[in-house]
Amino acid sequence: MVCIQSNTTNQIIFCGRSKTINLKVRDDVYNESSIVIDSINLDTEIPTVTVTNPDVSKISKVAGKDTASFTFQINKDFSEYKVKLVGNISATHESGAQIPIDNGSKNTSGEGDFKSSTITTVTIKGADLESAGATTDGKLILKVFVKDKNGLWSA
């Protein structure tokens, strides 16, 4: 599918993948430039997070049972990630509470230049989970959100 729309802010919205752009500009007295040609690849695929190796299914604040860890990997290069406590699996990156690192949790967020081959190990401490809002009813879940290089967040 190819669609081109112009909006009131003089932006053109392209639908589809690979595009060749031909541009000619004209000033207010109709002097025209020569045509400039360039190609772009529009990536609209959101990143997919694969979580593996969870070592436990629940934790507490009691020593010996106060730590959980898991790994995750993304299907494409990415620039940011965050681990949040959310109410349901369809929650977006804007909802829920970020897991803090005050009590020893590790790798609950990050920014940088990450390759798709990056495997990140996250460690969650029970006290950090509680401070993020976890309750004993088990109705909240941990979810990893990732932003790719194009600014698209995982679902």
**pLDDT per position as a tens digit, 43-97:** 778 999 999 999 998 888 999 999 999 999 999 999 999 999 998 889 999 999 9
109: enclosing H helix or E strand: strand 109-114
Tokens of 32: 């025209």
Average pLDDT, the chain: 87
Domain spanning 49-148 has what CATH number? 2.60.40
pLDDT tens figures, 26-35: 999 999 999 9
What average pLDDT does the segment 121-140 reach? 86
Amino acid identity of 60?
Answer: S
CB-CB neighbours of 96 under 10 Å: 22
User: What share of the chain has pLDDT > 90, as a percent?
Assistant: 66
- 8 falls in which pLDDT band (50, 70, 90)? low
- 2 falls in which pLDDT band (50, 70, 90)? very low
Domain ranges of the chain: 3-41, 49-148
Q: Is 128 helix (H, G, I), strand (E, B) or coil?
A: helix
Nearest to 53 by CA among 74, 68, 33: 68
Query: What is the structure's pLDDT at 19?
Result: 78
- The rounded distance, in Å, linking the Cα atoms of 97 and 153 is 16
Query: What is the structure's pLDDT at 136?
Result: 63
Residue 1: is its pLDDT beyond 50? no
Query: What is the structure's pLDDT at 13?
Result: 57
Nearest to 126 by CA among 50, 69, 54: 69
Query: What is the structure's pLDDT at 10?
Result: 54
**For residue 20, what is the DSSP state?**
E
- 120 falls in which pLDDT band (50, 70, 90)? very high
Tokens of 45: 């695929």
